[in-house]
Amino acid sequence: MRHSSRKKFFAAGVLFILLLLSMTVQAEAAWKKNSNGTYSYYSNGKKVKNKWIGDDYYVNSKGVRQTGWLQKGGKWYYFTKSGKLVKSKWIKSQGNMYYAGSDGVLLANGRKKVGKYYYAFSKRGVKLTGKRTYGGKTYFFGYKTGRMLTNQWVKTNKKYYYYGSNGVMAKSAWIGRYYVNSKGQRVTNTWKSGRYLGSNGKAVVGLKKIGKYYYYFDKKTYKKVTSTTLKINGTTYKFDSSGKGKKVTTVPKASVSVESTYYTDPDVSDETLLAAIIYCESGNQSYNGQVAVGMVIMNRVRSSLFPSDLREVIYQKTQFEPTRNGSMTRALKNSSLVTASCRKAAKTVLQKYKSAGKSSRVYLTLNGKKVNFSSYLFFMTKPAYRRLGLTSSYRTIGDHVFFKTWK
């Protein structure tokens, strides 16, 4: 019994001593509220200054618990009004956004990950938006959220840029059917690696006329085809070794005997065809003389004595020397040979006959007088007329004589 009582007495004494020690420690280190509502920390009866108190509080040079912003050791921290360090949380201050990491240090000076997303921060820790470059790589951070954009096009200063799966702006690369240059800009209206990038920057597929030539772009590779012939929507196109293509047209079989060049000369519009024959027959004559030649040819189209097709009239056997000596072929293959005056004459003549409709009268103004020229079916040089011994009455315009009947 005595031994048991001694043990109990000893245990009680130990507990009493521990309680006294605890009270002493509490008295030596504790927070104290100041008269102005701030807090200070005391240790061994002395106010602590410029020191962290645990992991969540800091007392400044005045010995007051820190609130708001604190810069220490080149790092920034933010404390709540109660003085607790903000951690793993966004902070809004004076219209700017900041983020405090798990240790309370603000993320700053670069691209940093917060949760699942990357954000850009200034040296001071302000969240940034827009185009930013870090480590030689360019990124884009959304204007609304500030999050780094991935796998999408972004329009900046009227130019499009692409930011890939890692957020890096692509350069000198294909993005599907688009291509971006060394500056990262989507290119438009240009050739690249056998492909043509249209006005929206997208590689063209199928048939496309670029300049004077047709091209056909494969629907899988987007590349132009070369050295091949394709039938597209009922029209045949022939593409050379450079990919340039032209329509392959088949001239209808003539209803009358025609020169061989009828089938081999380029198939062109009536206006181009008429301008070429006017040039070949009267390129050195006055404008009126050129119009007169065109009207004779159109009169033949309307006459029952000749074919009703313009091409057949021009290429009818033995009628016009240019269709036999190659000059007509040259004029059609090199349109720059045909003068502006001859092109204008052809257009004027076609308009005259279109306006006249079925009327038997089509006029030509000569020496200030309107002359019904719709019955004139022939023309030639005066020496040729005399050499052939013809006797029909004629009208002279420049070096040519024009007459109605062959006799």
Name the one residue in this structure whose structure tokens are 């119009």.
Answer: 291
Mean pLDDT score across all residues of the chain? 92
Confidence of residue 80 (pLDDT cuts 50, 70, 90): very high
**Quick check: is 287 in a domain?**
yes
The dihedral built from the CA positions of residue 142, 145, 150 and 153, taken in this order, carries a sign that is: negative
Percentage above 70 pLDDT, the chain? 93
Q: Is the pLDDT confidence value at 50 over 90?
A: yes
CATH number assigned to the domain comprising residue 286: 1.10.10.2520
Q: Tens digits of per-residue pLDDT, 315-333?
A: 999 999 999 999 999 999 9
Q: Do residues 175 and 280 share a domain?
A: no
Across the range 195-201, mean pLDDT stands at 97
307 occurs within a structural domain? yes
Predicted pLDDT of residue 314? 97
200 and 286 together in one domain:
no
Q: What is the pLDDT of residue 22?
A: 47
Confidence of residue 248 (pLDDT cuts 50, 70, 90): confident
User: Is the domain of 285 the same as that of 314?
Assistant: yes
Cβ pair 365, 247 in contact under 8 A? no
Look at residue 234 in the predicted model and tell me its pLDDT.
73
The DSSP annotation for 281-312 comes to HHTTS-HHHHHHHHHHHHHHHHSTTS-SSHHH
CATH number where 216 lies: 2.10.270.10
pLDDT digits (tens, 9 = 90+) for 100-142: 999 999 999 999 999 999 999 999 999 999 999 999 999 999 9
Same domain, 176 and 197: no
Single out the residue of 233, 227, 202, 201 nearest to residue 215, CA to CA: 227
Please indicate, yes or no, if residue 288 is contained in any of the structural domains.
yes
Same-domain check for residues 217 and 337:
no
pLDDT value, residue 359: 79
pLDDT greater than 90 at residue 9: no
Confirm whether pTM is higher than 0.75.
no
Q: What is the mean pLDDT of residues 29-49?
A: 94
**pLDDT band per the 50, 70, 90 thresholds, residue 358:** confident
Residue 21 pLDDT: 47
Asked if the structure places residue 332 within a domain, the reply is: yes
Asked if residue 396 and residue 290 are part of one domain, the reply reads: yes
Residues 6 or more apart in contact with residue 233 via CB below 8 angstroms: none
- pLDDT confidence tier of residue 233, bands split at 50, 70 and 90: confident
- 252 within 8 A of 308, measured Cβ to Cβ: no
Judge if 173 and 214 occupy the same domain: no
Residues 236 and 165 in one domain: no
Q: Buried (b) or exposed (e) across 69-106, using 16+ Cβ within 10 A?
A: eeeeeeebbbbeeebebbeeeebeeeeebbbbbeebbb
391 lies in some domain: yes
Instruction: Tell me how many degrees the CA angle 327-331-332 measures, rounded to the nearest 5.
Output: 120
Would 331 be classed as within a structural domain?
Answer: yes
Residue 388 lies in a domain: yes
Side-chain-side CA neighbours of residue 261 (13 Å): 25
pLDDT score of 27 more than 80: no
Q: What confidence score (pLDDT) does residue 23 get?
A: 46
CB within 8 Å of 137: residues ≥ 6 apart: 168, 169
- Model confidence at 231, pLDDT cuts 50, 70, 90, reads confident
Query: What's the rounded Cα separation, in Å, for the pair 359 and 340?
Result: 29
| pLDDT for residue 13 | 54
User: Would you say residue 3 has pLDDT above 60?
Assistant: no
Q: pLDDT (tens digit, 9 = 90+) per residue, 361-382?
A: 999 999 999 999 999 999 999 9
Domain count of the fold of the chain: 3
- 387, part of any domain: yes
In this prediction, residue 5 carries a pLDDT of: 54
Instruction: Check whether residue 180 and residue 282 sit in a common domain.
Output: no
Residues 180 and 192 sit within 8 Å (Cβ to Cβ): no
Residues 397 and 265 both lie in one domain = yes
Kindly state whether residues 196 and 179 are assigned to the same domain: no
Looking at the structure, tell me whether residues 155 and 240 fall in a common domain. Answer: no
Whether the CB-CB separation of 150 and 166 falls below 8 Å is answered with yes
What per-residue confidence (pLDDT) applies to 101? 98
Would the pLDDT of 15 be above 80? no
Structural domain span for residue 143: 134-185
